[in-house]
Copies of this chain bind each other. A is one copy, B any other.
Amino acid sequence: MTPVREDDVVALIRRLTGPAAGRLALGIGDDAAVWQPSRSHRSLITTDALIEGVHFPRELPLADAAFRAMAANVSDLAAMGARPVLATIALGLREGTTLEDIEHLYGGFVACANDARMAIAGGDLTRAPALTIAITAIGEAASSRVKTRAGARPGDVVAATGELGDSRAGLDLLREPGSLSGTPAARAAAAFARPQARWREGLFLGASSNVHAMMDCSDGLSTDLARLGETSGLGAYVETVPVGAAARAMAAHLGQDAEAYALAGGEDFELLAAIAPRAYAHLAARFRARFGRSLERVGVMREGSGVTWRRNGKEETIERTGWDHFA
Protein backbone atom coordinates (compact mmCIF):
# COMPACT_ATOMS: atom_id res chain seq x y z
CA MET A 1 0.00 0.00 0.00
CA THR A 2 1.55 3.26 -1.15
CA PRO A 3 1.26 6.12 1.33
CA VAL A 4 -0.48 9.01 -0.35
CA ARG A 5 0.82 12.57 -0.60
CA GLU A 6 -1.67 15.26 -1.48
CA ASP A 7 0.40 16.70 -4.34
CA ASP A 8 0.79 13.21 -5.90
CA VAL A 9 -2.96 12.79 -5.81
CA VAL A 10 -3.54 16.14 -7.47
CA ALA A 11 -1.03 15.23 -10.20
CA LEU A 12 -2.79 11.89 -10.77
CA ILE A 13 -6.20 13.54 -10.96
CA ARG A 14 -4.95 16.14 -13.42
CA ARG A 15 -3.70 13.34 -15.64
CA LEU A 16 -6.96 11.36 -15.39
CA THR A 17 -9.25 14.30 -16.08
CA GLY A 18 -7.13 15.70 -18.91
CA PRO A 19 -6.22 19.32 -19.60
CA ALA A 20 -8.72 22.16 -19.47
CA ALA A 21 -10.38 22.53 -22.87
CA GLY A 22 -13.19 24.39 -24.55
CA ARG A 23 -14.90 26.86 -22.27
CA LEU A 24 -13.09 25.46 -19.22
CA ALA A 25 -10.29 28.02 -19.14
CA LEU A 26 -8.53 26.64 -16.06
CA GLY A 27 -9.06 23.25 -14.46
CA ILE A 28 -7.70 21.44 -11.43
CA GLY A 29 -4.73 22.79 -9.47
CA ASP A 30 -5.38 26.44 -8.63
CA ASP A 31 -7.59 27.95 -5.93
CA ALA A 32 -10.62 27.81 -8.21
CA ALA A 33 -11.53 26.59 -11.68
CA VAL A 34 -12.32 29.14 -14.37
CA TRP A 35 -15.28 28.78 -16.69
CA GLN A 36 -16.00 31.04 -19.64
CA PRO A 37 -19.74 31.76 -19.87
CA SER A 38 -19.10 34.56 -22.39
CA ARG A 39 -16.14 36.24 -24.10
CA SER A 40 -15.44 38.88 -21.45
CA HIS A 41 -16.66 37.18 -18.29
CA ARG A 42 -15.42 34.35 -16.17
CA SER A 43 -17.15 32.18 -13.61
CA LEU A 44 -14.88 30.92 -10.85
CA ILE A 45 -15.77 27.68 -9.08
CA THR A 46 -14.22 26.20 -5.97
CA THR A 47 -15.10 23.37 -3.63
CA ASP A 48 -13.86 22.58 -0.16
CA ALA A 49 -14.85 19.97 2.40
CA LEU A 50 -14.35 20.24 6.15
CA ILE A 51 -14.73 17.22 8.36
CA GLU A 52 -15.09 17.14 12.11
CA GLY A 53 -12.05 15.61 13.73
CA VAL A 54 -9.91 16.36 10.67
CA HIS A 55 -10.33 20.09 10.05
CA PHE A 56 -11.85 21.17 13.30
CA PRO A 57 -12.27 19.63 16.74
CA ARG A 58 -15.64 18.40 17.90
CA GLU A 59 -15.52 21.03 20.67
CA LEU A 60 -15.83 23.86 18.15
CA PRO A 61 -19.37 25.30 18.21
CA LEU A 62 -21.30 24.27 15.10
CA ALA A 63 -21.89 27.86 13.99
CA ASP A 64 -18.12 28.45 14.01
CA ALA A 65 -17.39 25.24 12.11
CA ALA A 66 -19.91 26.34 9.49
CA PHE A 67 -18.51 29.86 9.31
CA ARG A 68 -14.99 28.49 8.81
CA ALA A 69 -16.09 26.13 6.06
CA MET A 70 -17.81 28.91 4.17
CA ALA A 71 -14.87 31.28 4.70
CA ALA A 72 -12.49 28.71 3.19
CA ASN A 73 -14.50 28.75 -0.02
CA VAL A 74 -14.91 32.51 -0.14
CA SER A 75 -11.15 32.75 0.36
CA ASP A 76 -10.51 30.55 -2.68
CA LEU A 77 -12.59 32.90 -4.80
CA ALA A 78 -10.84 35.90 -3.27
CA ALA A 79 -7.52 34.36 -4.22
CA MET A 80 -8.55 34.47 -7.89
CA GLY A 81 -9.73 38.08 -7.74
CA ALA A 82 -13.39 37.08 -8.04
CA ARG A 83 -16.53 38.52 -6.50
CA PRO A 84 -18.40 35.78 -4.55
CA VAL A 85 -21.91 35.24 -5.91
CA LEU A 86 -23.35 32.00 -4.63
CA ALA A 87 -22.67 28.82 -2.71
CA THR A 88 -24.14 25.36 -2.31
CA ILE A 89 -23.73 23.26 0.83
CA ALA A 90 -23.68 19.48 1.09
CA LEU A 91 -24.04 18.50 4.74
CA GLY A 92 -23.32 15.09 6.21
CA LEU A 93 -24.87 14.88 9.67
CA ARG A 94 -24.10 12.46 12.47
CA GLU A 95 -26.84 10.40 14.04
CA GLY A 96 -28.59 12.36 16.76
CA THR A 97 -28.30 15.69 14.93
CA THR A 98 -31.23 17.94 15.87
CA LEU A 99 -33.02 20.74 14.06
CA GLU A 100 -31.34 23.06 16.58
CA ASP A 101 -27.91 21.81 15.45
CA ILE A 102 -28.85 22.56 11.86
CA GLU A 103 -30.05 26.00 12.88
CA HIS A 104 -26.63 26.65 14.48
CA LEU A 105 -24.84 25.42 11.37
CA TYR A 106 -26.90 27.58 9.06
CA GLY A 107 -26.41 30.53 11.40
CA GLY A 108 -22.70 30.27 10.65
CA PHE A 109 -23.18 29.72 6.91
CA VAL A 110 -25.53 32.66 6.57
CA ALA A 111 -23.31 35.00 8.66
CA CYS A 112 -20.31 34.30 6.43
CA ALA A 113 -22.33 34.40 3.20
CA ASN A 114 -23.86 37.74 4.21
CA ASP A 115 -20.39 39.13 4.95
CA ALA A 116 -19.40 38.13 1.44
CA ARG A 117 -22.67 39.40 -0.16
CA MET A 118 -23.20 35.86 -1.42
CA ALA A 119 -26.42 33.85 -1.83
CA ILE A 120 -26.80 30.32 -0.48
CA ALA A 121 -28.39 28.71 -3.49
CA GLY A 122 -28.89 25.10 -2.57
CA GLY A 123 -27.67 22.08 -0.75
CA ASP A 124 -27.87 18.45 0.11
CA LEU A 125 -28.41 16.67 3.39
CA THR A 126 -27.42 13.19 4.38
CA ARG A 127 -26.38 11.06 7.32
CA ALA A 128 -22.64 10.63 7.85
CA PRO A 129 -20.32 9.12 10.46
CA ALA A 130 -18.90 12.57 11.28
CA LEU A 131 -20.13 16.08 10.58
CA THR A 132 -19.10 16.78 6.99
CA ILE A 133 -19.44 20.17 5.37
CA ALA A 134 -18.76 20.30 1.63
CA ILE A 135 -19.28 23.69 0.07
CA THR A 136 -19.00 24.82 -3.51
CA ALA A 137 -18.78 28.53 -4.15
CA ILE A 138 -19.11 30.38 -7.42
CA GLY A 139 -17.76 33.82 -8.17
CA GLU A 140 -17.56 36.13 -11.13
CA ALA A 141 -14.82 38.29 -12.58
CA ALA A 142 -14.01 40.18 -15.72
CA SER A 143 -11.60 38.00 -17.69
CA SER A 144 -8.82 40.60 -17.41
CA ARG A 145 -8.94 40.50 -13.61
CA VAL A 146 -8.64 36.79 -12.93
CA LYS A 147 -5.42 35.99 -11.05
CA THR A 148 -3.93 32.52 -10.93
CA ARG A 149 -0.85 31.04 -9.24
CA ALA A 150 0.97 30.92 -12.54
CA GLY A 151 1.90 34.48 -13.39
CA ALA A 152 4.61 35.40 -10.84
CA ARG A 153 7.88 36.81 -12.25
CA PRO A 154 11.40 36.81 -10.82
CA GLY A 155 11.86 39.84 -8.57
CA ASP A 156 8.16 40.17 -7.76
CA VAL A 157 7.49 41.23 -4.20
CA VAL A 158 5.49 38.61 -2.29
CA ALA A 159 3.02 40.33 0.00
CA ALA A 160 0.36 39.09 2.42
CA THR A 161 -2.91 40.87 3.15
CA GLY A 162 -2.42 40.45 6.90
CA GLU A 163 -0.53 38.77 9.72
CA LEU A 164 -0.15 35.03 9.99
CA GLY A 165 -0.34 32.36 12.65
CA ASP A 166 -3.27 33.55 14.76
CA SER A 167 -5.56 30.82 13.43
CA ARG A 168 -3.01 28.17 14.44
CA ALA A 169 -2.86 29.79 17.86
CA GLY A 170 -6.64 29.51 18.04
CA LEU A 171 -6.49 25.80 17.30
CA ASP A 172 -3.77 25.29 19.92
CA LEU A 173 -5.89 27.24 22.39
CA LEU A 174 -8.86 24.95 21.74
CA ARG A 175 -6.59 21.97 22.37
CA GLU A 176 -5.16 23.48 25.57
CA PRO A 177 -7.73 25.86 27.06
CA GLY A 178 -6.15 28.43 29.37
CA SER A 179 -2.84 28.46 27.53
CA LEU A 180 -3.54 32.09 26.54
CA SER A 181 -5.58 34.76 28.30
CA GLY A 182 -6.77 38.32 27.73
CA THR A 183 -6.44 39.95 24.31
CA PRO A 184 -4.22 37.26 22.75
CA ALA A 185 -6.74 34.57 23.77
CA ALA A 186 -9.62 36.54 22.28
CA ARG A 187 -7.68 37.17 19.06
CA ALA A 188 -6.67 33.54 18.74
CA ALA A 189 -10.22 32.31 19.32
CA ALA A 190 -11.68 34.77 16.81
CA ALA A 191 -9.03 34.00 14.17
CA PHE A 192 -9.86 30.31 14.37
CA ALA A 193 -13.63 30.49 14.82
CA ARG A 194 -14.50 33.39 12.50
CA PRO A 195 -11.72 33.80 9.94
CA GLN A 196 -12.27 36.74 7.62
CA ALA A 197 -11.97 35.80 3.96
CA ARG A 198 -10.25 38.65 2.12
CA TRP A 199 -12.60 39.00 -0.85
CA ARG A 200 -12.58 42.80 -0.82
CA GLU A 201 -8.79 42.70 -0.78
CA GLY A 202 -8.90 40.10 -3.57
CA LEU A 203 -11.05 42.37 -5.73
CA PHE A 204 -8.70 45.28 -5.01
CA LEU A 205 -5.58 43.29 -5.91
CA GLY A 206 -7.30 41.59 -8.85
CA ALA A 207 -7.99 44.99 -10.39
CA SER A 208 -4.26 45.79 -10.59
CA SER A 209 -2.26 44.60 -13.59
CA ASN A 210 0.82 44.83 -11.38
CA VAL A 211 -0.41 41.86 -9.37
CA HIS A 212 0.95 38.95 -11.38
CA ALA A 213 -0.19 35.98 -9.30
CA MET A 214 -2.28 35.38 -6.23
CA MET A 215 -3.33 32.58 -3.89
CA ASP A 216 -4.71 32.23 -0.41
CA CYS A 217 -2.61 31.20 2.52
CA SER A 218 -4.66 28.25 3.72
CA ASP A 219 -2.08 25.52 4.32
CA GLY A 220 0.68 27.62 5.89
CA LEU A 221 2.93 30.21 4.24
CA SER A 222 5.80 27.75 3.77
CA THR A 223 3.63 25.23 1.89
CA ASP A 224 1.61 27.80 -0.01
CA LEU A 225 4.55 29.89 -1.18
CA ALA A 226 6.23 26.72 -2.42
CA ARG A 227 3.08 25.95 -4.45
CA LEU A 228 2.90 29.46 -5.89
CA GLY A 229 6.57 29.12 -6.89
CA GLU A 230 6.07 25.69 -8.46
CA THR A 231 3.10 26.82 -10.54
CA SER A 232 4.97 29.91 -11.73
CA GLY A 233 8.16 27.89 -12.38
CA LEU A 234 10.06 29.89 -9.79
CA GLY A 235 11.52 29.79 -6.31
CA ALA A 236 11.05 32.35 -3.58
CA TYR A 237 12.73 33.62 -0.51
CA VAL A 238 11.07 34.75 2.67
CA GLU A 239 12.45 37.90 4.28
CA THR A 240 9.93 38.62 7.00
CA VAL A 241 7.14 36.61 8.53
CA PRO A 242 4.35 38.95 9.67
CA VAL A 243 3.53 37.23 12.96
CA GLY A 244 0.11 37.83 14.49
CA ALA A 245 -0.07 38.89 18.14
CA ALA A 246 -1.87 35.72 19.21
CA ALA A 247 0.64 33.56 17.35
CA ARG A 248 3.49 35.37 19.07
CA ALA A 249 1.92 34.78 22.49
CA MET A 250 1.22 31.11 21.78
CA ALA A 251 4.73 30.51 20.42
CA ALA A 252 6.13 32.06 23.63
CA HIS A 253 3.87 29.82 25.71
CA LEU A 254 5.05 26.76 23.79
CA GLY A 255 8.70 27.86 23.85
CA GLN A 256 8.84 27.97 20.05
CA ASP A 257 10.26 30.46 17.59
CA ALA A 258 7.41 32.85 16.74
CA GLU A 259 8.30 33.27 13.05
CA ALA A 260 8.66 29.53 12.50
CA TYR A 261 5.34 29.03 14.29
CA ALA A 262 3.55 31.51 12.04
CA LEU A 263 5.30 30.20 8.92
CA ALA A 264 3.89 26.72 9.49
CA GLY A 265 0.43 27.89 10.56
CA GLY A 266 -2.56 27.26 8.36
CA GLU A 267 -5.98 28.66 7.55
CA ASP A 268 -5.20 32.30 8.14
CA PHE A 269 -6.92 32.95 4.81
CA GLU A 270 -4.76 35.95 4.09
CA LEU A 271 -4.00 36.36 0.40
CA LEU A 272 -0.48 36.06 -1.00
CA ALA A 273 0.21 38.26 -4.03
CA ALA A 274 3.22 38.47 -6.34
CA ILE A 275 3.55 42.15 -7.21
CA ALA A 276 5.76 43.97 -9.72
CA PRO A 277 8.55 45.42 -7.50
CA ARG A 278 8.25 48.99 -8.84
CA ALA A 279 4.51 48.99 -8.12
CA TYR A 280 4.59 47.53 -4.62
CA ALA A 281 5.06 50.72 -2.55
CA HIS A 282 2.26 52.59 -4.30
CA LEU A 283 -0.11 49.61 -4.14
CA ALA A 284 0.69 49.08 -0.45
CA ALA A 285 -0.08 52.75 0.28
CA ARG A 286 -3.41 52.50 -1.54
CA PHE A 287 -4.11 49.22 0.27
CA ARG A 288 -3.46 50.84 3.66
CA ALA A 289 -5.69 53.81 2.78
CA ARG A 290 -8.46 51.47 1.71
CA PHE A 291 -8.31 48.75 4.35
CA GLY A 292 -6.51 50.39 7.28
CA ARG A 293 -4.03 47.52 7.39
CA SER A 294 -0.59 46.82 5.93
CA LEU A 295 -0.02 44.87 2.76
CA GLU A 296 2.76 42.95 4.49
CA ARG A 297 5.96 42.41 2.52
CA VAL A 298 6.90 38.76 3.01
CA GLY A 299 9.62 38.05 0.47
CA VAL A 300 10.64 37.98 -3.17
CA MET A 301 10.13 35.56 -6.08
CA ARG A 302 13.35 34.35 -7.69
CA GLU A 303 14.62 32.10 -10.47
CA GLY A 304 15.04 28.47 -9.49
CA SER A 305 12.86 26.45 -7.18
CA GLY A 306 12.15 25.93 -3.49
CA VAL A 307 11.62 28.41 -0.71
CA THR A 308 14.50 29.73 1.39
CA TRP A 309 14.44 31.93 4.43
CA ARG A 310 16.87 34.87 4.68
CA ARG A 311 17.21 35.39 8.37
CA ASN A 312 19.98 36.86 10.49
CA GLY A 313 22.24 37.04 7.45
CA LYS A 314 21.85 33.31 6.76
CA GLU A 315 19.85 31.45 4.15
CA GLU A 316 17.90 28.38 5.32
CA THR A 317 15.86 26.03 3.17
CA ILE A 318 12.29 25.91 4.40
CA GLU A 319 10.74 22.51 4.57
CA ARG A 320 7.07 22.36 3.83
CA THR A 321 5.83 22.40 7.38
CA GLY A 322 2.23 23.24 6.66
CA TRP A 323 -0.87 21.18 6.37
CA ASP A 324 -0.96 18.10 4.16
CA HIS A 325 -4.49 16.75 4.08
CA PHE A 326 -3.25 13.19 4.23
CA ALA A 327 -0.32 13.58 6.64
Chain A: interface size category: 35 or more
A2 in contact with B99 (CB, 8 Å): yes
- Whether A106 touches B16, Cβ cut-off 8 Å, given contacts A2-B99, A54-B127, is yes
List the B side residues contacting A24 at CB < 8 Å: 86, 119, 121
List the B side residues contacting A120 at CB < 8 Å: 17, 27-28
| Cβ < 8 Å to B, chain A residues 125-159 | 125-130, 132, 134, 136, 138, 140
Binds B, one of A35-43, A176-184, A203-211, A284-292: A35-43
Shortest beta-carbon distance from A127 to chain B in Å: 5
A49 in contact with B132 (CB, 8 Å): yes
- A255 on the interface (CB 8 Å rule)? no
Binds B, one of A6-14, A232-240, A313-321: A6-14
- A89 on the interface (CB 8 Å rule)? yes
Binds B, one of A90-98, A265-273, A293-301: A90-98
A128 in contact with B125 (CB, 8 Å): no
Which residue of B is nearest A30, CB measured? B122
List the B side residues contacting A99 at CB < 8 Å: 2, 4, 8-9, 12
Which residue of B is nearest A121, CB measured? B33
Tell me the complex Cα distance, A37–B45, Å. 14
- A55 on the interface (CB 8 Å rule)? yes
List the B side residues contacting A325 at CB < 8 Å: 125-127
A92 in contact with B122 (CB, 8 Å): no
B47 in contact with A88 (CB, 8 Å): yes
Tell me the complex Cα distance, A129–B129, Å. 7
Contact with B along A98-129 (1 / 0, CB 8 A): 11101100110110000000011111111111
- A12 contact from B4, B89, B103, Cβ within 8 A: B103
Shortest beta-carbon distance from A215 to chain B in Å: 14
- A127 contact from B8, B51, B102, Cβ within 8 A: B51
- A17 contact from B13, B27, B110, Cβ within 8 A: B110
Measured CB to CB, the residues of A under 8 A from B are 1-2, 4, 6, 8-10, 12-13, 16-17, 20-24, 27-28, 32-33, 35, 37-38, 41, 43, 45-51, 53-55, 85-86, 88-93, 96-100, 102-103, 106-107, 109-110, 119-130, 132, 134, 136, 138, 140, 325-326
Q: Which 5 A-B pairs have the closest CB atoms?
A: A134-B134, A33-B121, A136-B136, A33-B122, A49-B90
Known pairs A33-B121, A127-B326. 7 more at Cβ < 8 A?
A6-B125, A9-B125, A27-B119, A27-B121, A33-B88, A37-B41, A132-B134
